[in-house]
Amino acid sequence: MGTVERFLKQAIVDQNPFVSSSALLAGATLFRIAPDVIKRWVGEVQAAVNDKNPMVQYHALALLYLIKKNDRLAISKLVSGLCRNTPRSPYAQVLLVRLATQVVSNDKSSADAAACGNYLESSLRNKSDFVNIEAARAICNSPTVTSKELSAAVNALQIFLTSQKTVLVFAAVRTLSTVAMKYPQAVASCNYEMEQLITHSNRSIATLAITTLLKIGNESSIDRLMRQIGSFMSEIADEFKIVVVEAIQSLCLKYPAKHRSMLQFLASVLREEGGFDFKKSIVESILILIDQIPDAKEAGLGHLCEFIEDCEFTYLSVQILTILGKDGPHAADPTRYIRYVYNRVILENATVRAAAVSSLAKFGVQCEGLRDRVIVLLRRCLFDNDDEVRDRAMFSLSLLENQGDEEGHDLVTESIPVSFPAIEKVTLERRM
């Protein structure tokens, strides 16, 4: 082991940068096995940090951080010293930005933290593009960022929105999209550049641009943004569609007067091809809008009814049937929803049929004028080939035909007053 250690230590300061980098990487790998041995290489690694080769500098700084990472004071001294005497390697500078961010977040009042903060601010004007991006991202993500610092970071990112390099545009717009969630006004100055990116050939960039505009948009621009989004929704992956849906939900809550156009858009994409997570995000967004915006309830329930007519996901069908049973009886015209609910009894699997029966029972309990019709429908469910569906139908019929049983009605319209975790706990204790 001693011979190998001497060989690697000599290789770190070798004149050939490939040999030096390889030795540093070997040290990083061996650190997980023999950290005490690698800690004796501090002198050689420190010398490699000042090497002329960019990659050697980067690997040396990474290994030096591994050696000292459990000593917060040593890390602060190391990082603050490098912030005052910055390495020339852009790779090492990116790593240094991350380490400086860590030092600032751990101790904001020390002289070392002040030096690191100054370095982050100066890195916004670095010659290397990805150092600029990394510094701007670090500043924007800081929980204690000031308006002046945020403005400087946004201005640095704004320059990259017009870059010819796709990767730089993507990095900038992605960071600005994150900033817009907390500080929408700070990103408002980038509106023009963002609108130009809506037609970008890279659909990931176009999606991030449109979602950022939705976060910072105003009421007058909503209809135009909806039209632009619709032109490329079918061309992007589900993960980006979910981002768009969440942005539309936030915008609708911000401007409830525009709920019709946004609900219509969500309903149209709900009928398109997509996976479970995508459809689930749309359904949950519509449910949130129904709950938060009273004027959107009728339209939202109507869109959900249309969706379950051709829904391939059992979970979503059950979720929507539960909401229809809860809100449908209080709508202006409850009869329009009963048809959709009973269709599920005829056409769907046992799980969905059982949920539909429970939903029908809620209409019968809460709408006296519809009680007789619901009883007729539930009697047809007594011949279902699934035990759960037949049991629910029989239970619901007994309640509806015994109109004076208010406690029984509460079992249909309210949550069962039983703690299922408590029952499970007692059952397990008895088994033990």
Is residue 164 packed enough to be buried (19+ CB in 10 Å), middle (13-18) or exposed (0-12)?
Answer: exposed
Both tokens of 428, joined, read 């397990």
User: pLDDT band at residue 261, thresholds of 50, 70 and 90?
Assistant: confident
Q: What pLDDT, on a 0 to 100 scale, did the predictor assign at position 417?
A: 62
Average pLDDT over residues 363-382: 86
CA of 95: how far to CAs of 91, 138, 286, in Å?
Answer: 7, 12, 43
Distance, CA of 199 to CA of 210 (rounded, Å): 10
More confident residue, 20 or 261: 20
pTM for the full model? 0.66
Q: Which of 2 and 253 is assigned the larger pLDDT?
A: 253
- Mean of the pLDDT values across residues 372-391? 88
Q: What confidence category does residue 18 fall into, taking pLDDT thresholds of 50, 70 and 90? A: very high
Would you say 233 and 266 are in contact if contact means Cβ atoms under 8 Å apart? no
The domain limits of the chain are 315-432
What per-residue confidence (pLDDT) applies to 109? Answer: 65
Q: What is the DSSP string of 104-167?
A: HHH-SSSHHHHHHHHHHHHHTT-SSHHHHHHHHHHHHH-TT--HHHHHHHHHHHHHHTT-S-HH
Please count the other Cβ atoms lying within 10 Å of the Cβ belonging to residue 273. Answer: 9
Give every CB contact of residue 227 below 8 A, 6+ residues apart in sequence. Answer: none
Q: Cα 345 to chain center, whole Å?
A: 35
Decide if pLDDT at 292 tops 80.
yes
What local confidence, expressed as pLDDT, does residue 418 receive? 65
pLDDT at 411 over 70: no
Q: What are phi and psi of 75, to 5 degrees?
A: -65, -40
pLDDT value at 128 more than 80: yes
Tokens for 221? Answer: 């621009």
Per residue in 66-103, pLDDT (tens digit) is 888 888 888 888 888 888 888 888 898 889 899 888 88
Task: State residue 413's pLDDT score.
Answer: 58
Q: Per-residue pLDDT tens for 322-336?
A: 898 888 888 888 888
In total, the chain counts a number of residues equal to 432
| Percent of the chain whose pLDDT exceeds 70 | 94
Q: Report the pLDDT value the prediction gives residue 55, as an integer from 0 to 100.
A: 92
Residue 408 has pLDDT above 60, yes or no: no
Query: Looking at the predicted structure, is the pLDDT value of residue 165 above 60?
Result: yes
Residue 34, SS3 per DSSP = coil
Which tops the pLDDT comparison, 109 or 341?
341
CA angle 230, 232, 235 (to 5 degrees): 135
What is the rounded average pLDDT for all residues in the chain?
84
Where helices occur in 217-334 by DSSP H, the ranges are 222-230, 238-254, 259-270, 276-292, 297-308, 314-327
Query: What's the average model confidence in pLDDT over 390-394?
Result: 89
What is the pLDDT averaged over residues 230-239? 73
Q: Which two tokens stand for residue 272?
A: 């398109």
88 vs 126: CA distance, rounded Å:
11
pLDDT-above-90 percentage for the chain: 5
The pLDDT assigned to 272 comes to 80
